[in-house]
Amino acid sequence: MLVAIDCIIFGFDGQHLKLLLIKRGFEPQKGRWSLMGGFITNDETLDYAAARILKQLTGLTYIYLEQLYAFGDPYRDPTERTVSVAYFALIDINKYEEQISHEYSAEWFPLKRLPSVIFDHKDMIEMAKEKLRYKAAFHPVLFELLPEKFTLPQLQTLYEDVYDAMIDKRNFSRKMLSTGLIVKQKDKEKNGSKKGAFYYKLDKRKYRAKFDAFLNLIPNPQSLK
Amino acid sequence: MLVAIDCIIFGFDGQHLKLLLIKRGFEPQKGRWSLMGGFITNDETLDYAAARILKQLTGLTYIYLEQLYAFGDPYRDPTERTVSVAYFALIDINKYEEQISHEYSAEWFPLKRLPSVIFDHKDMIEMAKEKLRYKAAFHPVLFELLPEKFTLPQLQTLYEDVYDAMIDKRNFSRKMLSTGLIVKQKDKEKNGSKKGAFYYKLDKRKYRAKFDAFLNLIPNPQSLK
DNA sequence: TCAAAAGTGTTGTCCTTACACCCATGT
DNA sequence: ACATGGGTGTAAGGACAACACTTTTGA
């Protein structure tokens, strides 16, 4: 019996939440899109294997990585009985090194326009989206997708895309600021608008301290599942 | 590489939340306490394997069963490299058939007085407790632990034991009743008190419909992790 | 009649939402 | 000057938490 890891890698380009997929370079299913994955070696933990595989594709280390679910349908991989432990990863898309991706012919896809993927990877992606929404409704995990400096409008766009909903900006900024998690900077981002929007930084100390607490980050969490 | 299943089985005896453990009848670690587990067979899903194993120990079918986490430390089982997918189960302790348990020398332990257990089963139990608290804070999953008919004081005792906290009974009953999930019966339970407490039944239709919605079932969820 | 547990209502506070106008600047 | 997006305040309603007394009945 084989044990594999598959990584659902989320990124945010300022407009939309995206997923990183690779084009399989080998049979079976050569040429089709797939999650980044691999088999675990004999002396590594699952977490370690996921981090190793993620590094191979993106070049990134110290990534937010969380175990999602173990998928074990006996025929999920038609060639061999493989149990796959799926992880989801949140990365700052700007830190992602392009050249490494080209080795693997990787590509970012907006969540709404995903190509068809091999095996049960579609189920994995669906579950990852659901879990991300669930988690982000209470924990400030979406900051993992942003660069060090970001603006409130950028942050709001991210939440709006994750929840596919419009959010009132006055309520949003009040709620965010009231968490004490973000710190206003002196400089502004000037590309997005004429007036420019102030940058904010995450207060990493408070972020770690409050990560497990319950924040009410989105309006009407009733709408989740 | 082996893939195993381990089940964290919760029950509620009216006073305390309990865990079902078995005494291992074989080496290694013969005679020590352990979660109920087994290996997956070649043509079953993980969910199916968990249900099969659960039936072997408890005789019960159609049990609430949810995948918890995959544990893959390379040395977690010192004899062989085994990845274990842990499931947690919630059962009505009254339906549990004693005779089957005796075959396996199983025993219920209050969560606060667990014996030492083999391998990484302690970690699994800790994670299961945490996940149960998290889940039950928003979803009415604790009803799975109760018999068909139960009283409000029994339900409250269950919540109080799960969260190790006192809950105001006026607020508790109002909140529960406002969910519309439970239906008052005409008869009373007369053992627990002189006055007797009305029985309630779960409205299974609404239960299924609202299971994924967000209910605010416990006061101050801030105290969770 | 007394003890023990069940059952029930009200009020104040805070959180959440809905909503509209002014500001700064590049063109 | 004007169009574009950034930034801010207030009021009303709803949810939650704190709190105490009456009821029932078995012993």
**Residue A148: partners with Cβ closer than 8 Å, 6 or more residues away:** A201, A202
| CB-neighbour burial class of residue B20 (10 A; exposed 0-12, middle 13-18, buried 19+) | buried
Where would I find the beta strands (DSSP E) of chain A? 2-12, 17-23, 33-34, 36-39, 64-71, 82-90, 106-110, 149-151, 182-189, 197-202
Question: For B3, which residue in chain A has the nearest alpha carbon?
Answer: A1
Mean pLDDT of A179-198: 95
A204 CA – D12 C1', rounded, Å: 36
Backbone angles phi, psi at B16, to 5 degrees: -135, 150
- pLDDT digit string (tens) for chain B, length 225 residues: 999 999 999 999 999 999 999 998 888 889 999 999 999 999 999 999 999 999 988 999 999 999 999 999 999 999 999 999 999 999 999 998 777 777 778 999 999 999 999 999 999 999 999 999 999 999 999 999 999 999 999 999 999 999 999 999 999 999 999 999 999 999 999 998 999 999 999 999 999 999 988 888 777 665 555
Share of chain A above pLDDT 90, in %: 82
Determine the pLDDT at residue A178.
94
Contacts of B39 in chain A (CB under 8 A): none
Mean pLDDT of A33-38: 96
**DSSP strand pairing (B17-23 vs B197-202):** unpaired
| CB-neighbour burial class of residue B133 (10 A; exposed 0-12, middle 13-18, buried 19+) | middle
Of the partner residues A43, A44, A72, the one whose CB lies closest to the CB of residue B45: A72
CA distances (Å), A121 to each of A5, A51, B118, in order?
Answer: 11, 19, 34
Determine the pLDDT at residue A222.
59
Determine the pLDDT at residue B153.
97
**Where does the pLDDT of residue A221 fall: very low under 50, low under 70, confident under 90, or very high at 90 and above?**
low
Contact at 8 Å (CB) between A12 and A130? no
Of the partner residues A40, A71, A212, the one whose CB lies closest to the CB of residue B72: A40
Determine the pLDDT at residue B222.
59
d(CA A24, CA A57): 12
**Where does the pLDDT of residue A223 fall: very low under 50, low under 70, confident under 90, or very high at 90 and above?**
low
pLDDT over 90 at A103, yes or no: no
B110 CA – D14 C1', rounded, Å: 40
Determine the pLDDT at residue B219.
75
CATH class of A148-224: mainly alpha
Could you tell me which of A124, A113, A91 has the C-alpha nearest to residue A13?
A91
CATH 3.90.79.10 in chain B, residues?
A: 2-137
CATH 1.10.10.10 in chain B, residues?
A: 148-224
Determine the pLDDT at residue B221.
63
List the beta bridge partners of residue B99: none
d(CA A16, CA A109): 9
DSSP A119: T
Whether pTM > 0.85 for this model: the answer is: yes
d(CA B223, CA B221): 5
Buried b (16+ CB within 10 A) or exposed e, A175-211: bbeebebbeeeeeebeeeeeeebebbbbeeeebeebe
Determine the pLDDT at residue B49.
98
Q: Which residues of A touch B (CB under 8 A)?
A: 1-3, 40, 42-46, 49, 67, 69-74, 81, 83, 85, 212-214, 221-222, 224-225
**Where does the pLDDT of residue A23 fall: very low under 50, low under 70, confident under 90, or very high at 90 and above?**
very high
Residue tagged 């995990």 (tokens): A141
Four-point Cα dihedral B120, B60, B96, B196, nearest 10: 120
User: How many Cα neighbours within 13 Å face the side chain of A106?
Assistant: 24
List the beta bridge partners of residue A46: none
Determine the pLDDT at residue B128.
98
Helix, coil or strand: residue A121: helix
Nucleotides of D under 7 A from a protein CB: 3-10, 15-20, 23-26
Which ranges of A112-188 does DSSP label H, i.e. alpha helix? 121-136, 152-163, 169-178
**Residue A213: partners with Cβ closer than 8 Å, 6 or more residues away:** B222
- CATH architecture of the domain formed by B2-137: Alpha-Beta Complex (3.90)
The amino acid occupying position A128 is: A
Mean pLDDT of A187-200: 94
Residues A118-165: tens digit of each pLDDT = 999 999 999 999 999 999 999 999 999 999 999 999 999 999 999 999
